[in-house]
Amino acid sequence: MDYMNAPGRNHLFVPGPVNIPESVLRAMNRNNEDYRSPAIPAMTKILLEDVKKIFKTTTGTPFIFPTTGTGAWESALTNTLSPGDRIVSFSIGQFSLLWIDQQKRLKFDVDVIESEWGYGADLDALASKLAADTAHTIKAICIVHNETATGVTNNLNSVRKLLDHYMHPALILVDGVSSICALDFRMDEWGIDVALTGSQKALSLPTGLGIVCASPKAIEAAKTSKSLRVFFDWNDYLKFYKIGTYWPYTPSIQLLYGLRAALDLLFEEGLENVFARHRRLGKATRLAVEAWGLKNCTQKEEWVSDTVTAVMVPAYIDSAEVVRRAWQRYNLSLGLGLNKVAGKVFRIGHLGNLNDLQLLGCLSGVEMILKDIGYPIKFGTGVAAAASYLQNTIPMIPSRI
Amino acid sequence: MDYMNAPGRNHLFVPGPVNIPESVLRAMNRNNEDYRSPAIPAMTKILLEDVKKIFKTTTGTPFIFPTTGTGAWESALTNTLSPGDRIVSFSIGQFSLLWIDQQKRLKFDVDVIESEWGYGADLDALASKLAADTAHTIKAICIVHNETATGVTNNLNSVRKLLDHYMHPALILVDGVSSICALDFRMDEWGIDVALTGSQKALSLPTGLGIVCASPKAIEAAKTSKSLRVFFDWNDYLKFYKIGTYWPYTPSIQLLYGLRAALDLLFEEGLENVFARHRRLGKATRLAVEAWGLKNCTQKEEWVSDTVTAVMVPAYIDSAEVVRRAWQRYNLSLGLGLNKVAGKVFRIGHLGNLNDLQLLGCLSGVEMILKDIGYPIKFGTGVAAAASYLQNTIPMIPSRI
Amino acid sequence: MDYMNAPGRNHLFVPGPVNIPESVLRAMNRNNEDYRSPAIPAMTKILLEDVKKIFKTTTGTPFIFPTTGTGAWESALTNTLSPGDRIVSFSIGQFSLLWIDQQKRLKFDVDVIESEWGYGADLDALASKLAADTAHTIKAICIVHNETATGVTNNLNSVRKLLDHYMHPALILVDGVSSICALDFRMDEWGIDVALTGSQKALSLPTGLGIVCASPKAIEAAKTSKSLRVFFDWNDYLKFYKIGTYWPYTPSIQLLYGLRAALDLLFEEGLENVFARHRRLGKATRLAVEAWGLKNCTQKEEWVSDTVTAVMVPAYIDSAEVVRRAWQRYNLSLGLGLNKVAGKVFRIGHLGNLNDLQLLGCLSGVEMILKDIGYPIKFGTGVAAAASYLQNTIPMIPSRI
Amino acid sequence: MDYMNAPGRNHLFVPGPVNIPESVLRAMNRNNEDYRSPAIPAMTKILLEDVKKIFKTTTGTPFIFPTTGTGAWESALTNTLSPGDRIVSFSIGQFSLLWIDQQKRLKFDVDVIESEWGYGADLDALASKLAADTAHTIKAICIVHNETATGVTNNLNSVRKLLDHYMHPALILVDGVSSICALDFRMDEWGIDVALTGSQKALSLPTGLGIVCASPKAIEAAKTSKSLRVFFDWNDYLKFYKIGTYWPYTPSIQLLYGLRAALDLLFEEGLENVFARHRRLGKATRLAVEAWGLKNCTQKEEWVSDTVTAVMVPAYIDSAEVVRRAWQRYNLSLGLGLNKVAGKVFRIGHLGNLNDLQLLGCLSGVEMILKDIGYPIKFGTGVAAAASYLQNTIPMIPSRI
């Protein structure tokens, strides 16, 4: 029996992989092609230029790896750092933790700054470390822009300001997996050295592309990094960029066409409008959570995430049961609580190609599930809180006015 | 600019064409084939057997015409009746009206029984006519099972009982376009002679198949009908059924594979479960309408439709503006009020491959639109009324338990 | 077991349905939409203008029926003629025969001019009839542009010239099912009154659109025609054209998007280049047949068809066995001999979205099949004859120079 | 202008990426899903079992990486070896060369055994090294099963026999990128320790899966390997295998469904039949090359490849011009000559989902191109040589008998 056979659409509200727009599905519905023909390089050339726009960079160099976010992390680290290099890394949730695990296993000297889960990166601790590091032993700061496990968004610009303040030359490496194309991200303005994302997040594609963007300083670092790497080596890509064939090994034809279609959609909507839509959906979700009398895992307003909300459940409820019910009865896919917050939070992803009525359908589903499992909810309260905010703020659809 | 480029999915709640399930889209994503190869007849043979199940007939003969509901009407009429034949036809809304218009233009002698829009077929009037017709001049009764314009479902079994009561041999021709595969329909048990539907309704396919099913009595009538016809002639099909090639002219390969996938989904869910789902979604919609303080166009509980709800708006509101707003701001497609109820009702289609959270998303959208246009709505009321009913009645998804 | 599961692609060389280009498959891979939204009329308006181009008409009015070629025939006849009207019709093969059968069953007074199969329309016989018909009792001339059963292309301009010569006002109705978009067709220049085609032929779409184009004189005739019709009535369409909603009943959303993509491809290649490509593939096929020592069913060079070649086999061979072998062993779909030429010819369709190497693959397959069934063929002879012609005439692909 | 807009299908005959079957394209035409739902692990469990069949192993452990062949190489090396480890590697063409380059950059001590391009692995040289290596300093033998650049297939069983002969414990690592699922490969029988392939080759999927299979001995080696790795680490996968969620990071939902469909097709045809088909197409291609009077790059019959043929052109011809012509005029994609054989050979890939008539179409295209560029070819000679062999050997299609 096929699990996906259930009446109506699957309501996909995990914080990735997210819903793929129909126009993107169409674009990918095609046979393979010879990637050495003139067609693919011509397409790649424009794609690389356009990818820079989603990072808001004009000076950065993008790499489109046939990999996932985990691979993109590895590419960011191994190209810019050598084993033994000291890095400062913020541990604020499951994904920053996994990245730190990778950093350690790749033999970097990781100086971890811990926060309670639900809190953002501890910038005061960073300041202390930078102040103390007059010898500039810290080679890089690794930070997750948006921690997907707790729904916490860090302020990247503050990191840049701290480094500038201490005139510290450390690189800033940013995991933008659940932020880029959803939350405002300004690589050049904020002086980010490496930023990365995965195709299955706000780009709304299938998994399979790990997109990394490197500042000139990062590109320079890649020339001397002693970390062993081949598949993830930027220098191989740069060699092929120069000769204009772009790909050191076979890319996914379908994902390239899909990326083209995904970027077209984002640019047609306008990146700033895309960000505004995510702010709207994030706020609406938080208003619903509040109306239900539940708490957001995020502990301060400054860190709330507009791409994912981790909802805390009372102690007498197992959040995994919320997720199980959602799947088994409502064809709704919610995110589990991970690691330290397993059983304690469930997550609503509200990123990527999504609109207001989809979210409201999800929220009404959550209300029914909460009822199912014995939480004293008043039907319609969360939906009403969300809708009364949304109704004031939704723009007309430009193509239909 | 492409009208369909808008963030997130289009919420399709017109009463047809309806949402196509992903597995059906996949099944249709294929090149053409030679329809004279052994593959297509082998597939057709099974399809025809399976199509009988959706009509609940074992004695009927189905025809899958490459046409629409309007063509299926024409096929039903011209195969069983000759110009000048007297037929009794119920006028209760726009679609029964259009069928009557067709009946007249095909030169049948149409005896129309009118009802106010929002009312069902006037069976007392039929009884009178049958009682008076001892000469059996009435050759057929034409009735729409579910009038899509007003959301009125007629009781077909009562028509059969009346004919039996008066021992009247008239044929019963049923437009099941917005009912079959959504509302219970029992061709054999109710003694229906011709029933028909269109692929873009509860079958959840693209437009393009007009499916007609004929009782043995109807098949007999087709032998002597003097109505001119070729494309819609059952006898041509029957000839090809006999020789086992099935198609007098080229069928749509893609729609045949789509029909196969659509029937598979319906049978996997179970037809009775499909009907129960429609009853649930219909009831939930009506509860929401009531909670909003609005009236259903349907005037009596016995006629309420579980596939479409025509919602009446106050005189100071133009229902077309509701539909326009839905499209322009919420990416929601609602049904217009047609003809006599233009500007007075908007319609929510809740048929085909659809689930509870999709409907709740739609209902929350309607709440925002009503607010937009000045109706004093309290957010969440309709959604809450629907959800509190649904939460008690939604079954677990069988494939996921 | 799925008949279509065989290694590699199915080689589809029946004269319809033909291969669908990937870009067209992509365009059709989409959910249903509300056809009453502004999107569909906006699209339809442009489609209707563009459809006129494939008929080479500026004065004609096109109708896109959700039907097949058989339905398009019926539409052409019933809108322009009344029962009892005298028409002259050419019988030259299976499809003209089927159309004549339809004409008779719709109660026209059909004056059939017979030709041997393999011969074109007997224009001398027409001339005699026109000369004799000073009373102008002939209301229409019905002619198949390209007879798909025998591979015979008629000269339509000669029909116009004859009518002009005799100053005869009869309408000219043309079946262009296997010609339009493949062979040059000039509705205005040749004074054709109704022309029609089906989507699954040279347009390279799935079956499901019967496209009919009517001259102003035909539109005028439709005002007074007494043939009963509703589904196929042009006047209903014209009414909706006027109010700008275009569709009297639900169209196939997917086929409209598919038609858009198909026309885009044809216009990008250029209609004249499309015709040239068909002439090239037709000629290459005939050269191969000749090299094999086989005869073309077409009896004179003036009638050879550039969309389908009917190949005659020696008496000791059953052509149905050629087709069966092609399907069972080579994944090649060839056309059967129909009716009078059943067992005597097999057909190679070379229309629609097709290129030279596809045809050469087919021809090499035919060589192997002929060997299989005992015909003394020398491998490579047909392919060589075709290739040596093609190699001199294939143009560069414009997008790749 | 879209390069892919050209009449008819693109004839894809590069040795990868290869043609994707329609059923596989259909299977991948779907939205994203939550990969943590029960659906994906249930599917993965069966996939992993089935993947073992294509390696002909019951004791091996497969890993499905979201990467390419280059990544699969890296995974094979870094999991089994530590920097400084001595490995013996055969350099016989561009792809073995690239792998050696990777081996060196990952800091293994690579002992390269060179062969002239067109020759297979020099097993005598290996024997000498093994005989000398009584200290067992050689940790692994790296060999490409089928060198895609020259069309050379190595005899893997002989490597195993040599190791057994010298009772040498070195691991055997095999690049099966252009062989597995096309050429017979017997992991257990031949005692291969790591074998790998890419999805875009004989599996006939898009690029994006690097499939690696490890023997128990290789799995053991992974426990102590000191090569730094995270993304490519088998141990992470094994941890998740144990807990039954299978994926340490997000997999591509679409490629998993595609892999399911691809394996279904292969198993339905039967792996041995798939190999026989490749042998047939390989032989036919070589017969054509011979008939044209051209030389195969492969220097001995024992090494001929049934997945790719590298055709040598006379000195006065630039093979890159053959490839350019193929693309610009015939919509045919051929493989370029790479590195040492650039300009000297063009390559015909004949692997994956492909049939006889497709190949013959390609061969007739090559004949026209050779004519175009001045090679004295007699049309039909190659096609005839291939066809006369194929016609004797093609089996009936099982589903159609």
Task: Find chain C residues with C-beta within 8 A of D396's C-beta.
Answer: 328-329
Nearest Cα of chain A lies from the Cα of B139 at a distance, in angstroms, of 41
Task: Find chain D residues with C-beta within 8 A of A70's C-beta.
Answer: 230-231, 248-249
Does the pLDDT at position D336 exceed 70?
A: yes
Q: Which of D329, D332, D362 sits opposite C396 (nearest CB)?
A: D329
CB-CB contact of B284 with B386 (8 Å):
yes
Considering the domain C11-18+271-400, what is its CATH architecture?
Alpha-Beta Complex (3.90)
pLDDT digits (tens, 9 = 90+) for B264-323: 999 999 999 999 999 999 999 999 999 999 999 999 999 999 999 999 999 999 999 999
φ/ψ of C119, rounded to 5, equals: -105, 155
Q: Residue D87: which H helix or E strand, with range? A: strand D86-91
Q: Which of D68, D228, D336 sits opposite A66 (nearest CB)?
A: D68
DSSP designation for B145: S
For testing contact with chain C, the best of B4, B31, B229 (most C CBs within 10 A): B31
Cα–Cα distance between B292 and B284 in angstroms, integer? 12
Does the pLDDT at position D290 exceed 90?
A: yes
- Whether residue B33 and residue C17 make contact (CB cut-off 8 A), yes or no, is yes
- Cis, peptide link before residue C314, omega less than 30° from 0: no
- Whether residue B32 and residue C18 make contact (CB cut-off 8 A), yes or no, is yes
CB-CB contact of D195 with D244 (8 Å):
no
pLDDT digits (tens, 9 = 90+) for D346-379: 999 999 999 999 999 999 999 999 999 999 999 9
> Where are the alpha helices (H) located in D35-93, listed in sequence order?
39-55, 69-80
pLDDT digits (tens, 9 = 90+) for B64-82: 999 999 999 999 999 999 9
Q: Which of D26, D30, D38 sits opposite B30 (nearest CB)?
A: D26
Closest residue in B to C28 (Cα–Cα) = B29
Closest residue in C to A30 (Cα–Cα) = C22
**Nearby residues of B17 by Cβ (< 8 Å), 6 or more positions away:** B200, B201, B206, B207, C32, C33, C34, C35, C250, C253
Segments of chain A with pLDDT less than 50: none
DSSP letter for each residue of A237-290? HHHHHHHT---SS---HHHHHHHHHHHHHHHHH-HHHHHHHHHHHHHHHHHHHH
Does the pLDDT at position B2 exceed 90?
A: no
Encode C379-398: b = buried (16+ Cβ within 10 Å), e = exposed.
bbbbbbbbbbbbbeebeebe
Q: Which residue spans within B93-193 are E strands per DSSP?
A: 109-114, 138-144, 146-147, 152-153, 171-175
B3, B15, C29, D205 from A23: Cα distances, Å: 12, 24, 9, 21
For testing contact with chain C, the best of B5, B201, B254 (most C CBs within 10 A): B254
A88, A176, A289, B125 from A95: Cα distances, Å: 16, 11, 23, 72
Side chain identity at residue C393, one-letter code: T
Nearest Cα of chain B lies from the Cα of D161 at a distance, in angstroms, of 48
Q: What angle do CA C177, C179, C181 make, to 5 degrees?
A: 105
- In 3D space, the residue among B212, B250, B253 whose CA is nearest the CA of residue B234 turns out to be B212
Q: Specify the pairing of strand C210-214 against strand C61-65.
A: antiparallel
pLDDT digits (tens, 9 = 90+) for A285-317: 999 999 999 999 999 999 999 999 999 999 999
Q: Specify the pairing of strand C295-296 against strand C210-214.
A: unpaired
Cα–Cα distance between D6 and A226 in angstroms, integer? 47
So what's the pLDDT on residue D1? Answer: 66
Nearest Cα of chain D lies from the Cα of A289 at a distance, in angstroms, of 22
Closest residue in A to B288 (Cα–Cα) = A380
- Whether residue C7 and residue D353 make contact (CB cut-off 8 A), yes or no, is yes
φ/ψ of A378, rounded to 5, equals: -100, 115
Does residue C7 sit at the D interface (CB-CB below 8 Å)? yes
Q: Which residue spans within A37-91 are E strands per DSSP?
A: 61-65, 86-91
Cα–Cα distance between D355 and D360 in angstroms, integer? 9
For D263, the token pair is 């394996």
pLDDT digits (tens, 9 = 90+) for D234-289: 999 999 999 999 999 999 999 999 999 999 999 999 999 999 999 999 999 999 99
CB-CB contact of C355 with C21 (8 Å):
no
- Whether residue B74 and residue C251 make contact (CB cut-off 8 A), yes or no, is no
Chains that touch A (3 or more CB pairs under 8 A): B, C, D
Segments of chain C with pLDDT less than 70: 1
Q: Which of B6, B19, B357 sits opposite A330 (nearest CB)?
A: B357
To which residue do tokens 């589990």 refer? Answer: A336
Nearest Cα of chain D lies from the Cα of C260 at a distance, in angstroms, of 15
Task: Find chain B residues with C-beta within 8 A of A387's C-beta.
Answer: 364, 367-368, 379-380
Binding-site positions of A for substrate: 347
Q: How sure is the predictor about D63, in pLDDT bands with cuts at 50, 70 and 90?
A: very high
What is the rounded radius of gyration, in angstroms, for the C-alpha atoms of chain C? 21
CB-CB contact of D327 with D333 (8 Å):
yes
Does residue A79 sit at the B interface (CB-CB below 8 Å)? no
DSSP letter for each residue of A147-211? ETTTTEE--HHHHHHHHHHTT---EEEEE-TTTBTTB---HHHHT-SEEEEETTTTT---S--EE
Task: Find chain A residues with C-beta within 8 A of B329's C-beta.
Answer: 394-397
For B137, the token pair is 């001049």
Instruction: Specify the CATH class of A11-18+270-396 in words.
Output: alpha beta
- Whether residue A34 and residue D333 make contact (CB cut-off 8 A), yes or no, is yes
Nearest Cα of chain D lies from the Cα of A325 at a distance, in angstroms, of 11
pLDDT digits (tens, 9 = 90+) for C55-92: 999 999 999 999 999 999 999 999 999 999 999 999 99
Cα–Cα distance between D141 and D133 in angstroms, integer? 13
Percent of chain D with pLDDT over 90: 98
**What is the SS3 assignment for C41?**
helix
pLDDT digits (tens, 9 = 90+) for B197-216: 999 999 999 999 999 999 99
- Cis, peptide link before residue C17, omega less than 30° from 0: yes
Supply the angle between the helices D381-393 and D356-372 in degrees, to the nearest 10.
170
Encode D189-225: b = buried (16+ Cβ within 10 Å), e = exposed.
ebbbbbbbbbbbbbbbbbbbbbbbbbbebbbebbeeb
**Nearby residues of C220 by Cβ (< 8 Å), 6 or more positions away:** none
**What is the SS3 assignment for C303?**
helix
Chains that touch C (3 or more CB pairs under 8 A): A, B, D
- From chain B residues 298-337, the ones with a CB under 8 A of any chain A CB are 327-332
Average pLDDT score over residue span D108-131? 98
A21, A45, A213, C135 from A205: Cα distances, Å: 8, 20, 18, 70
Task: Find chain D residues with C-beta within 8 A of B25's C-beta.
Answer: 29
How many A×C Cβ pairs under 8 Å?
18
DSSP designation for B146: E
Task: Find chain B residues with C-beta within 8 A of C101's C-beta.
Answer: 230
- In 3D space, the residue among D366, D226, D184 whose CA is nearest the CA of residue D293 turns out to be D366
- Judged on CB neighbours under 10 Å (0-12, 13-18, 19+), A167 is exposed
So what's the pLDDT on residue A272? Answer: 98
Q: Which of C4, C331, C399 sits opposite D6 (nearest CB)?
A: C399
Would you list the domain boundaries of chain D?
11-18+271-400, 22-267
For C257, the token pair is 């998007």
For B168, the token pair is 């009247």
Nearest Cα of chain D lies from the Cα of A53 at a distance, in angstroms, of 23
Q: Residue C196: which H helix or E strand, with range? A: strand C194-198
CA atoms within 13 Å, Cβ hemisphere of C141: 32
Does residue D22 sit at the B interface (CB-CB below 8 Å)? yes
Closest residue in D to C360 (Cα–Cα) = D361
Does residue B30 sit at the D interface (CB-CB below 8 Å)? yes
Binding-site positions of C for substrate: 347
For testing contact with chain B, the best of A356, A388, A394 (most B CBs within 10 A): A356
Task: Please give the distance of CA C9 from its chain centroid, rounded to a whole number.
Answer: 24
CB-CB contact of D283 with D134 (8 Å):
no
Q: For chain A, give percent helix, strand, coil, nearest 5.
A: 45, 15, 40
So what's the pLDDT on residue A1? Answer: 66
- In 3D space, the residue among B206, B208, B174 whose CA is nearest the CA of residue B64 turns out to be B208
Q: Given strand A345-349, what is the order of strands in its sheet?
A: A295-296, A308-312, A345-349
Q: How sure is the predictor about B1, in pLDDT bands with cuts at 50, 70 and 90?
A: low
φ/ψ of C395, rounded to 5, equals: -85, 160
**What is the SS3 assignment for D256?**
helix
**Nearby residues of A134 by Cβ (< 8 Å), 6 or more positions away:** none
- CATH 3.40.640.10, applies to A22-267: yes
